Amino acid sequence: MTIEGLYIIIAAMLIAASSALVGSFLILRKMSMMGDAISHAVLPGIVFAFLLSGSRAGLPMLMGAAATGVLASLLIELLYRKAQLPQDASIGITFTWLFALGVILISSYTGQVDLDQECVLYGEIALVPLDWLYTGAGGALAPRAIVYGVVLLLVVGLYLLLGYRGLVITSFQNDFAAALGISTAFWHFSFMSLVSVTTVLSFETVGAILILAFLVVPPATAYLMTHRLPVMLVWAVFWGLLAAVEGYFLARWIDGSIAGAMASVAGLNFMGVALVKQALKRKKRATALHTAAVK
Amino acid sequence: MEKVIDFLSFQDPTVRLVVAGTVLLSISAAVVGCFAYLRKRALVGDALAHSLLPGVAMAFLFSGQKDPWLLLLGAMVSGWLALGAMELIQQHTKLASETAIALVLSVFFGFGVLMLTYLQHHGGGDQAGLDQFLFGNAASMRSSDLYAYGLVGMVLLVIIGAFYKELKLYCFDPDHAQAIGLPTRGLRYLLNTMTVLATAIGIQSVGVVLMAALLITPAATARFWSYRLRTMLFLAALGGAVAGLGGSFASYLAPAMPTGPWIVMVLSFLALVSIFLAPRVGIFARMWRQRQNQRKIIRENLLKAFYHGLENREGDQAWLSRPEWQEQRHLPEWEWQIGFRQLRRHRWILRRSGHYRLTERGLAEARRVVRLHRLWELYLSRYLALGKDHLHPGAESIEHLITPEVEKELLRELDYPEQDPHRSPIPYKS
């Protein structure tokens, strides 16, 4: 394996680990499609960040772009509560609108924005080794995607470290938390912000739809395996990392999109676990029937 | 400008064809979407659209060309696989349906992207056209494509017309449909097949990613204007047609622009206008009604307080000072402010040197509110046997809502009582 390949895998692993942690809570809060919505809705914010800061947007700009994601979740709430649309329709209307706006912006400013329509969907992870960040003195620091990945992991880690209890109690027992006087709105919107930041920082690398794969598939796989949250988090990260590595080699082997390959193998991993789980269940039932019959 | 006129006059036969095709595709997707919307399957449509990508790419991979029938076949196969996968996950695992949708959507799409990129790196010739499935490009459709997709769209509309009654019943009340012996399983398959087909032809003009908008947004928009399914379907079709027209117009003016985002922008604009401005159910209408209600409640509370002041005063004096009035009831200052203004505007109070009195109409109104309050308290204590200290809150909220008909009913039921449970006299129309 070349050093470039290593960079790509490291960047993907950083994103996979952070998304697995965030995505686990997304699943527990039954908000997977909200993740889908936010991952699409941040696009206009990102395009604006790019337009304002030239061809490459810096970290602070991207953090600003994450506000679009929070805005989208507010808009969804507005449609759901004030206009009394069904929740799925509120989500569908909001994100398609914002995403369409983003695509139109991109195609109107093709020269000025270093994004294209396909990259928006499935990222440009293959370009990770080509785009370096430099230190003030001019020395090469690390590929940009890896720096962003580290920042993302730190943000997610810090949020979970500080907010673990609040997030857990509002995820499992929202009413109880409200009765205890915990601000459920605070946890909802701070968590939505975290999802937005995750999306924005991974956007260029894996694109809007494949970030959803990283957010949902490894945690869903882990969710099948255990009832305990800490164990689930560990497994989710494991499946995320595994998909990143497997996906890279699959893509190299058949010469296709790396991010697409990662999503595909994540799906295969899920299928494998689900089938094993199903087989175990059947076997257990058969044994139970057998013992009952013997008695 | 010249181009605008060119477009609008429909002189060019290609323009005519593209416009007719896009409009027809959008209409059939919008109509089928209404049923998905009513069954609360809106996001399943989103997932389906994304899941068609591998099938479309696969059809291309095997045939090496963009034959519309083969692409439809591929789309059908992967659409059904995706539906099956979602159903299996929901039935056999503890994952929520939301998660199942997101999972199938992202994995199928990822697989589709993998195949697309594989094609781009290995395939030859025509493969550039495949990108257009992502965001749609109406103008690039050939006439043979248009005829095929247009035909499918027509067939969908005809099927909906033929099974209208059955589909309607199934969407609104599946249990009842089953109870009266309709083949509900068959109807479900029919609706799912129609959704897959509508999505498959819709992605030609809006693309995979934004297809959800073509299914959901016209339906949601139409819902704001009508509660009748027939009207809703018609309005959704109209919205789809307008958006299709707008989209093909944009793609005619700027051929490099993908059509999908423009169609979605038109649809979203229509939706936003309806969401805010629709009569009765729009956000503004709702807010206006809420405000009117709030004012009515404040008005009536102030009148009641005044009436209590009249009851508690000494002598026969009709004038109350403002502190005398305000001490009858604890309300925030802004409510008093709004209330004073409201009462004056209705000409229910007169004011002279800091003192107030009720006009004749104001007094009648005050007596009405107090009467309703006390009648309701009596009703609660007599029929629900509530204790005296539990009567007030219930009456406090319902007195603003009782209509003259209910009042008449109450009076008859309680046999025109003299006193409420707290022994306060019930004021009748003088």
Residue B78's pLDDT band, with cuts at 50, 70 and 90, is very high
Instruction: Specify the pTM.
Output: 0.85
CA pair distance A138, A141, nearest whole angstrom: 9
Chain A residue whose CA is closest to B113: A260
Touching A: B residues 269-298, CB under 8 Å:
271, 275, 281-283, 286
- pLDDT of amino acid A18: 95
Say which residues have a Cβ less than 8 Å from residue B54's Cβ, sequence separation at least 6.
Answer: B78, B108, B111, B112, B115
Cβ <8 Å between A209 and B50: yes
The residues, any chain, with a CB within 8 Å of residue A111's CB and separated by 6 or more, are none
For residue B66, is pLDDT > 80?
Answer: no
Residue A104 and residue B261: Cβ atoms within 8 Å? Answer: yes
User: How far B257 CA sits from the closest chain A CA (Å)?
Assistant: 6
ipTM of predicted assembly, 2 dp: 0.91
Query: At CB < 8 A and 24+ separation, what contacts does A249-253 make?
Result: A251/B114, A252/A5
The pLDDT score that the predictor gives to residue A137 is: 62
- Mutation site for B-interface testing, chosen from A78, A93, A105, A273 by largest number of B Cβ within 10 Å: A93
Whether residue B243 contacts residue B14, with contact meaning beta carbons closer than 8 Å, is answered with no
**Least CB–CB distance from B217: residue in A82, A93, A104:** A93
Taking only the tens place, the pLDDT of each residue in B218-268 is 999 999 999 899 999 999 999 999 998 888 888 777 777 777 888 899 999
Cβ within 8 Å, pair A263-B106: yes
| pLDDT at residue A55, as a whole number | 60
- Chain A residues within an 8 Å CB radius of B108: 267
Give B429 to chain A, closest Cα distance, Å. 40
Amino acid letter for position B290: Q
Of residues B387 and B129, more confidently modeled: B387
- Chain B partners of A274 at a C-beta cutoff of 8 Å? 89, 92-93
State whether B265 and A107 contact (CB < 8 Å). Answer: no
Q: Residues near B390 by Cβ (< 8 Å), separated by ≥ 6? A: B380
Chain B residue closest to A27 (CA)? B99
The predicted structure's pLDDT at residue B125: 45
Token pair for B151: 């035909």
Bridge partners of B419, per DSSP, are: B425
The token pair at B328 is 């009858």
In this prediction, residue A276 carries a pLDDT of 93
Do A209 and B106 make contact, defined as CB atoms within 8 angstroms? yes
* Residues of B in Cβ contact (< 8 Å) with A30: 96, 98-99
Tokens standing for residue A31 = 């908000």
Does residue A229 sit at the B interface (CB-CB below 8 Å)?
Answer: no
Confidence (pLDDT) at B428: 83
Please judge whether A92 and B212 are an interchain contact, meaning their C-beta atoms are less than 8 angstroms apart.
yes
pLDDT tens per residue, range B155-189: 999 999 999 999 999 999 989 999 998 898 899 89
- Show which of residues 45-64 on chain B sit within 8 Å of chain A, judged by CB atoms: 45-46, 50
CA distance A164 to A156: 11
Cβ–Cβ below 8 Å for B114 and A278: no
Phi-psi region of B416 (alpha: psi -120 to 50; beta: other; left: phi over 0): left
| Residue A152 identity (one-letter amino acid) | L
Average pLDDT for runs of 10 along chain A of length 295: 85 94 93 89 87 71 82 91 88 92 84 70 74 67 83 93 90 86 88 92 82 94 93 96 94 88 95 92 86 79
Mean pLDDT of B89-117: 90
Write the CB contacts of A142 (distance below 8 Å, at least 6 apart in sequence).
Answer: A132, A133
Instruction: Quote the crossing angle between the two packed helices A43-52 and A184-225, to the nearest 10°.
Output: 110
Q: How far is CA B267 from the centre of its chain?
A: 14
| Cβ(B136)–Cβ(B203) below 8 Å | yes
Cβ-defined contact of A104 to B262 (cutoff 8 Å): yes
